[in-house]
Amino acid sequence: MISWNDFEKVDMRIGTIVEVNDFPVAKKPSYKLIIDFGSLGMKKSSAQITTLYKKEDLINRQVIAVVNFPPKQIADFMSEVLILGVIMKKEGEVVLLQPDIKVPNGLRIA
């Protein structure tokens, strides 16, 4: 169990994917994403979502991400945020979490 104070330390925000590129040197099939978090600016992330999502379908999609983890080196790419999703046990794929109504980029998840 974690405390409420622990949970409050995790900074989850809404962002909009503005750029998607292939990531051929990643160990598992992945995309390189650029996400607009409003006043927090543009952030980079790597996501293993190539089976369920086409690049063109991700542009302008809002996602939820943790923005206060330290950057993580993935192959030749520095991932700055962790996009959140649901792991489908049977298929092992990730379904992205997103708001059901478009909201301003950078809003904090409560």
Residue 109 placed within a domain: no
Judge contact between 33 and 44, C-beta under 8 A.
Answer: yes
Token digits of residue 73: 């080196």
How confident is the model at residue 93, as a pLDDT? 86
In a domain, 57, yes or no: yes
What local confidence, expressed as pLDDT, does residue 12 receive?
98
Quote the number of domains for the chain: 1
74 found inside a domain: yes
- Which phi and psi (to 5°) does residue 38 adopt? 60, -125
The verdict on pTM exceeding 0.85 is yes
Contacts of 2 (CB under 8 A, 6+ apart): none
Domain that holds residue 45: 4-96
CATH number (domain holding residue 76): 2.40.50.140
**Is the residue at 107 inside a domain?**
no
Q: What is the pLDDT of residue 33?
A: 98
Domain assignment present for residue 108? The answer is no
Is residue 19 in some structural domain? yes
Does residue 29 form part of some domain?
A: yes
Task: Please tell me the predicted confidence (pLDDT) of residue 110.
Answer: 86
pLDDT along the chain (110 residues), means of 10: 94 98 93 98 96 96 98 96 90 89 96
Domain assignment present for 104 = no
HSE-CB for 55 with a 13 A CA cutoff: 12
